[in-house]
Structure 1
Amino acid sequence: FDNGIERRALALYMRHNYVPAPWSIYENVWKLPPGCYVQFAGGDLPTGGRGDITAYWSLREAAQRGLADPFTGSEAEATNELERLLRQSLAGQMIADVPLGAFLSGGVDSSTVVALMQAQSPRPVKTFTIGFHEGDYDEAQHAKAVARHLGTDHTEWYVTPQDALDVIPKLPALYDEPFADSSQIPTHLVCMLAKRHVTVSLSGDAGDELFGGYNRYFWAMRLWRRLSSVPLPLRRLAAAGVRAVPPGAWNRVFAALHPLLPGRLRFRLPGDKLHKAAGLFAARRPEEIYLRLVSHWEYPTEVVLGVETEPPTPLTDPGQWLDCPDFERRMMYLDAITYLPDDILVKVDRAAMGVSLETRVPLLDHRVVEFAWRLPLSMKIRDGQSKWVLRQVLYQYVPRELIERPKMGFGVPLDQWLRGPLREWAEDLLSEERLKHEGFLNPAPVQQMWAEHLSGRRNWAYSLWDVLMWEAWLESGR
């Protein structure tokens, strides 16, 4: 086929770190959206058309039905019904004629899946986790505690930076098109570990989108309420004031005030975070805050050459938003139709199939999803705690003290690696001469980001990873 690059899809990739369906990175090549099938008349593939696409299940319709028919039972009844549906899902997904296990991070979602698997299994469930020696990224100790309590047959692998770095050259071939969620690295590693012991592994993916797990569900609306009480011109003035002071200067101010600051204001690179927060001040509606929070490159048309206007997606097209009074649930819906299928599920599927491991996602049983959308928001987010009703199921099997801790992402110390062991590799892929010769990306903003990142003034790891994975994919021969 003609493998010409679709530059509009490249712009979408730079915003999201993935190419959202139905787009693909190639011109005139389209992805089939989730929950759909395609029919071609006469058995021949059309040369220019996309076929007759039909949805056999729609999250939008499921969400609308749930909102129209809300669950009215007690909290105990909601907990019992959710547990019943999860057990039902797992009973089907644990059927296998090959060895089966589960990923276990020690968080709410994977711990719930493993707890209910173990409750229905006559023998110890095989569970797998990887750990990092860098403490900020290590969940292995939490997973081990949960595994010990449940009595699973647990295997862990503490990977070295070199183990992780060795995965990077494989990534372009694994994903077939540019894909830049850096947790693809530990995901592939845990799949490698699991494949040594099993052929099928269950995961806890989708708990965040269904039951309100992401931090943005808590503070995006809170931030909007505060911002919207201040006139827009004043907010723009405040943003200009923050940006007028370089991030490095803000870092020095915070360092000087460090002994006087409360714990919640003591974090790395405060100047970097202040500059990012300033970008939210000019929001005119809460959806703009959400879009900025989930965007890697806020203005991708400034870096992708030959694209004047970014194509509409569910994130930018109000016609595709869910009609729901709760901004939190509108965010969950958008995450569930974009980030979940195009990032999370793609990441896990490709990382697993790269080692011939099958993965299954019991939380995405349609009955679980449909019930989740009937639940009131108060059973998902309560008193600053996420996934309230899912936790009630889990706490029947695992003590709270083994679970309750700040949410951790499944990540790697990418910012440090780009300044250290990955620097030479990145320098080559980000070179001005290379970018000019290829003609896809504007070298100026890329070079500026790279310089700021290397100096330590800013943390541009995720935005730079988008460029690096694009360049690595391009170099691999696409």
Structure 2
Amino acid sequence: MSGLCGWFITDGEGASHTGGACADALQAMPSAQTDAQNTRGGACTTRDGWVAGQPGGVIGAIVGHPQWHEAELAALARDHSPATALLEAYQRHGLGTFEHLGGDFSACVLDPDNRRLMVGIDRIGQFPLFFSRIPGGVAFGTSAASVLAHPGMERRVTPNGLFHYLFFHMLPAPVSLYDGLEKLQGGQCLILEGEGPARVKPYWQPVFQEPAGADGAALGQELRQRLEASVQRLSDEPQTGAFLSGGLDSSTVSGFLARQRPGEADTFSIGFDAPGYDEMEYARTASRHFNTRAHEYYVTPEDVVEAVPLIAAAYDEPFGNSSALPAYFCARMAADAGIKRMLAGDGGDELFAGNARYVKQDVFELWGRLPGPLRRSLLEPLFTRLPRGVPLLGKARSYVEQARVPLPDRLQTYNHLYRLTLADMFQPDFLGRVDQDAPWSLLRDIYHRPAEASALNRMMYLDWQQTLADNDLRKVSRMCQLAGVDVVYPMLDDGLIEFSCRVPSRMKASKGRLRHFYKEAMTGFLPDEIIHKKKHGFGLPFGVWMQDHPPLREMAYDGLLRFKGRRIMKPAFIDELIQLHQQHAAYYGEMVWILMMLDLWMESHDARGPHSP
């Protein structure tokens, strides 16, 4: 995966002595093909990207797979370089440059004459961008390590960062684990001008529409055409393969790749020898249907023991999504087969309503449509007194308790940090240094950001920013980088994103059916078994395997024992977690994984925690 970093100080003083530190940070990463430029007051470096400009003048740098909305800029990028096109766009559009840029990218423009810095990332946030407000300017980079390489930065872990990780199981932008480090969200740019403070602003926001007379058949045809064009554009690398889990999106991407390369499309699938976790038969169904060259691998508990420390250390910040492990083995299998670029199906659920919590919320929203006096005066007092021990009455009480919680907070009612008492979980010193409302404020801010949108579209937009950009894309991109292959996401084509905003909510999920519009559109292209299968995950049977595989259990418990000494959570809570896992392996195995990965990350990054001297 390509990357860039740099900094800019608006007082015009040179920064050549720090330029070496940034270049060293990029060189230390895999597959270093670097280019660097210095200018008055700043510098930037790229790995496997493009830099253009004149020493002492305006510099532009960009990484990724950018697309230009203007034909002249696209031609300039093709004939010269994307960085040359970036500088031309800046000359034409100034602060509006990123509005004319699409695809997946991270880019910067350093303009010493106007004492201006611009840094931006793509609409969804396929590329991360870390930054820090240093004295007189900004340091920035696509990795935390590159920004932390700046001499003015300290690797100081914050309690709020740790709390956000334990809440979300990753670090959602704009939050970072480190003091003084922030992140851009998708569709945002950072601008620094003159003596003013660096400011973050959106350059793109989705506009959701609910057309009354939408033609489902015409929209379905347009969807298929856009998907095929996106796959074709992103598979220009001869050695291209595709992830194939057997789900809707990976099967779609694999199918369109196979249409371009009849009998020669390589697909890669992962299985688990654990009941309820293996989808290999669906992947085989799709492979047979599209006549792909299928590559398969079954992950074992021994693989988990071998790879977990490597995976935990690979991320800039703690990362708790256990499906990173199968993603890594799938990417490694592709690299061993000579594949240079992988197509991933991530994004379809968030664009076309594929997550079960979307339709679940419809059921809860019915409660809010009842007359307020009836709910508050009669029904709520009645239902909240019902006994929990009687199954039917307990379910009725649980329904009312959840329905009373407004969106988006209700989406977190499954969260361990919502269900449990924080004072029973965390050490008092740690909890006293944490803003407990911050994760909730972040959720609400993103959810209410679209000017006009249905509850469904707001939930999906929230997932664009967090479930997708900060979780799934980070998972796959980093594991592909670790394995040595490039990865692209055809579902996240700009045109497809805008198209999804034109599909009415009532069609995306109809009468409780997830992905209704998408499934109707893909009927006849995808196998019926995949159209009608229940949604599955790419989850790892970690909690279940822990029970039966002593080396895995020993690794996890050793991590929990070390974690006790970090003075973040109460030892009694961790002891109770171990007991609960033995009773409910799958559910509590997730929390064991979250804490184990945090401990392994802190161990590998020498991050001693907020209480360390």
Gaps of 5+ in 1: 255-264, 266-270
Distance in 2, Cα, partners of 1:396 & 1:237: 51
Gaps of 5+ in 2: 1-152, 608-613
Structure-2 change in CA distance of 1:451 and 1:104 (3 Å): same
Contact 1:106 1:403 (C-alpha < 8 Å) held by counterparts: no
- Per the alignment, residue 469 of structure 1 pairs with 597
Distance in 2, Cα, partners of 1:466 & 1:222: 30
Shift of 1:300: 8.5
- Per the alignment, residue 403 of structure 1 pairs with 531
Decide which of 163, 178, 184 is 2:318's aligned counterpart.
Answer: 178
Structure-2 change in CA distance of 1:308 and 1:287 (3 Å): closer
Distance in 2, Cα, partners of 1:53 & 1:281: 35
Q: Which amino acid aligns with 1:368?
A: L
Contact 1:235 1:282 (C-alpha < 8 Å) held by counterparts: no
Q: Does 1:232 align with 2:380?
A: yes
Structure-2 change in CA distance of 1:308 and 1:388 (3 Å): closer
Bigger-Rg structure (1/2): 2
Distance in 1, Cα, partners of 2:400 & 2:558: 31
Shift of 1:464: 2.5
**Secondary structure, in 3 states, of the residue corresponding to 1:316?**
helix
Give the aligned CA root-mean-square deviation in angstroms: 3.0
Distance in 2, Cα, partners of 1:277 & 1:175: 38
The structure with higher relative contact order (CA 8 Å, sep 6+) is 1
Q: Choose between structure 1 and 2: higher strand proportion.
A: 2
TM-score by length of 2: 0.65
Structure-2 change in CA distance of 1:143 and 1:209 (3 Å): same
Contact 1:30 1:50 (C-alpha < 8 Å) held by counterparts: no
Shift of 1:91: 2.2
Q: Which amino acid aligns with 2:247?
A: G
Q: Does 1:90 align with 2:231?
A: yes
Distance in 1, Cα, partners of 2:396 & 2:271: 32
Shift of 1:323: 4.9
Structure-2 change in CA distance of 1:393 and 1:217 (3 Å): same
- Per the alignment, residue 4 of structure 1 pairs with 156
- Per the alignment, residue 424 of structure 1 pairs with 554
**Secondary structure, in 3 states, of the residue corresponding to 1:438?**
coil
- Per the alignment, residue 309 of structure 1 pairs with 436
Distance in 2, Cα, partners of 1:228 & 1:325: 18
- The number of residue pairs the alignment matches comes to 435
- Per the alignment, residue 24 of structure 1 pairs with 176
* TM alignment of 1:38-77, pairs within 5 A: 38-39=190-191, 51-56=198-203, 58=204, 61-62=205-206, 64=207, 66-67=208-209, 70=211, 72-77=213-218
Contact 1:301 1:307 (C-alpha < 8 Å) held by counterparts: no
- Per the alignment, residue 364 of structure 2 pairs with 223
Structure-2 change in CA distance of 1:175 and 1:158 (3 Å): same
Contact 2:322 2:539 (C-alpha < 8 Å) held by counterparts: yes
Shift of 1:341: 0.4
- Per the alignment, residue 447 of structure 1 pairs with 575
Shift of 1:156: 1.0
* TM alignment of 1:214-363, pairs within 5 A: 214-226=355-367, 231-238=379-386, 241-242=387-388, 280-281=401-402, 283-293=404-414, 295-298=415-418, 302=423, 303-304=425-426, 305=430, 306-312=433-439, 313-317=441-445, 320-324=448-452, 326-363=454-491
Q: Which amino acid aligns with 2:222?
A: E
Deviations 1:389-418 (A, max 9, x none): 322343232331343211111012122133
- Per the alignment, residue 42 of structure 2 pairs with none
Shift of 1:125: 1.1
Q: Quick check: 313-322 or 165-174, which moved more? A: 313-322
**Secondary structure, in 3 states, of the residue corresponding to 1:22?**
coil
**Secondary structure, in 3 states, of the residue corresponding to 1:145?**
helix
Q: Does 1:151 align with 2:291?
A: yes
Structure-2 change in CA distance of 1:340 and 1:463 (3 Å): same
Q: Does 1:169 align with 2:314?
A: no
Shift of 1:104: 0.8
Structure 1 residue ranges (4+ consecutive) displaced by more than 6 angstroms after TM superposition: none
Shift of 1:363: 0.7
Q: Choose between structure 1 and 2: higher helix proportion.
A: 1
Question: Equivalent pairs: percent with the same residue?
Answer: 30
Contact 1:131 1:159 (C-alpha < 8 Å) held by counterparts: yes
